[in-house]
Structure 1
Amino acid sequence: MNNNYDKIANYYDTLSRLVFFRSQLNAQINQLHFIKKNSKVLIVGGGTGWILEELAKLCSEGLRIIYVEISAKMIALSQKRSYKNNTVEFINLGIEDFATDEDFDIILTPFLFDNFPQQRAIKVFEQLNGYLKNGALWFLVDFSLQKKKGKWWKWLLLKSMYRFFKLLGIVEANRLTDMNPYFLKRNYQIVEERLYYGGFITATIFKK
């Protein structure tokens, strides 16, 4: 199944830290303080669910979280996390098969769009845009080739990553889609942007 990390679910966090140390982790947690108590949160592609514990450190109660993840093994690992008195609904689906009438105060998409070819990435963006309230926040964390400094090694590393995941039959994309133009086209404003791992990882908070 495309973009399903079942094969490496038990090793994903270890592999991530071997390559990126704490950069992927820090890129996802350093801006969580923008999330207010009693927010309704949509997390798409949350992986092993450690982000739930980080959210619980900031808000031990009051969050209502919808957790959409295509990997059944990732869901199983996530369900074992301690999220204290927050409410979490786990949904084992690919995001394109998920539908809801609810709207959200926060959307988190950690390393989601790098999985998709451009047209599917745009389709998922438009879908999620429809779930976010006006004035609400979207936390986009992903790889980036937009900064010129060190672009050669970033390109080489990204190419190696795609090749590795292709060999495992996991990821369908062959190249990275820059999502910023689609946010700006929809008149999102950048609240904060932080760079990690020499600018290869970008964490951006967009306000709708």
Structure 2
Amino acid sequence: MPQSPDSGFDRVASFYDPLARLVYGSKLQEAQRWLLKFIPDGATILIIGGGSGWLLQQVLQHTSPSHVLYLEASEKMLLKAKQLNPNQIIVEFRHGTDTGLQPHVSFDVIITPFLLDLFPDARLNQLMGRIYTSLSTGGIWLFADFWPVEQKPPFWQKLLAKSMYLFFGLLSGVQATQLPDYRKRFNRLGLQEIASESFYNGFVQSKVFRKV
């Protein structure tokens, strides 16, 4: 049976971060770091799909949350995150996916770092719906991901996107084959975009959405 895209990153956990730096330099980290200034003091935070824990380390160093739920589908990635951030009394490390989120628990801030590009349409709609339900009214959704340019994309961008999906499809069971139309989905949820920044010639974008 092919691996689920929710758990397949165990196979790339040992080299995912060095590979990302080789291809994108520091741009993926810059895109995530740019979001930190929007996290209010004392916030309850959900980081879903944070991988090996670099983003969690940045959140703990540069913001002052009251509680962080670190939800990661890859057991090996979760272990690396724990090792990078030991003895964190305000962090709850949980192995699982959005299906384990409890409907009565909400968060002031939810961060999806390079997560939403992994899923085909039906699964993505389900995922984003659950995240929306878990976000408090007035809360903010911090998004960093690969973003399809609205005009005709340059050849290098199309080639890079196809290569990523082929590579992670083979090694990690990622079922998506193209970048989603995020804007349509965020608009459908009624989220208000309040800030945006682009990186890597627009191929990577960070956005801040508020639930009104």
TM-score of the alignment, normalized to the shorter chain, above 0.5:
yes
| Structure 2 residue ranges without an equivalent (≥5) | none
State yes or no: 1:43 paired with 2:42.
no
* TM-score normalised by L of structure 2: 0.91
2:129 is paired with a residue of what secondary structure? helix
Choose which of 130, 140, 155 in structure 2 pairs with 1:152. 155
C-alpha change, 1:134 and 1:116, in structure 2 (3 Å) is: same
Which residue of the partner structure matches residue 105 of structure 1? 108
Which residue of the partner structure matches residue 77 of structure 2? 74
Maintained 8 Å contact 1:68/1:90: yes
Choose which of 137, 150, 163 in structure 1 pairs with 2:140. 137
C-alpha change, 1:89 and 1:57, in structure 2 (3 Å) is: same
State yes or no: 1:57 paired with 2:64.
no
Which residue of the partner structure matches residue 2 of structure 1? 4
Task: Please provide the CA RMSD for this pair.
Answer: 1.7
1:31 is paired with a residue of what secondary structure? helix
- What is the total number of aligned residue pairs between the two structures? 207
Maintained 8 Å contact 2:9/2:172: no
Which residue of the partner structure matches residue 177 of structure 1? 180
Choose which of 33, 37, 60 in structure 2 pairs with 1:33. 37
State yes or no: 1:117 paired with 2:120.
yes
| Structure 1 residue ranges without an equivalent (≥5) | none
Task: Report the Cα offset of residue 88 of structure 1.
Answer: 0.8
CA–CA separation in structure 1 for the residues paired with 2:39 and 2:89: 13
CA–CA separation in structure 1 for the residues paired with 2:177 and 2:202: 20
Give percent identity, aligned residues only: 33
C-alpha change, 1:10 and 1:127, in structure 2 (3 Å) is: same
CA–CA separation in structure 2 for the residues paired with 1:105 and 1:202: 22
CA–CA separation in structure 1 for the residues paired with 2:138 and 2:86: 26
Which residue of the partner structure matches residue 20 of structure 2? 16
Q: Deviations over 1:50-89 (max 9, x none)?
A: 1111112213x54301111110000000011237766111
Q: Deviations over 1:3-52 (max 9, x none)?
A: 22101101111000000001110100112011012100011100001111
Which residue of the partner structure matches residue 206 of structure 2? 203
C-alpha change, 1:37 and 1:172, in structure 2 (3 Å) is: same
* TM-score normalised by L of structure 1: 0.93
1:140 is paired with a residue of what secondary structure? strand
* Segment drifting more, 13-22 vs 87-96: 87-96
1:142 is paired with a residue of what secondary structure? strand
CA–CA separation in structure 2 for the residues paired with 1:199 and 1:55: 24
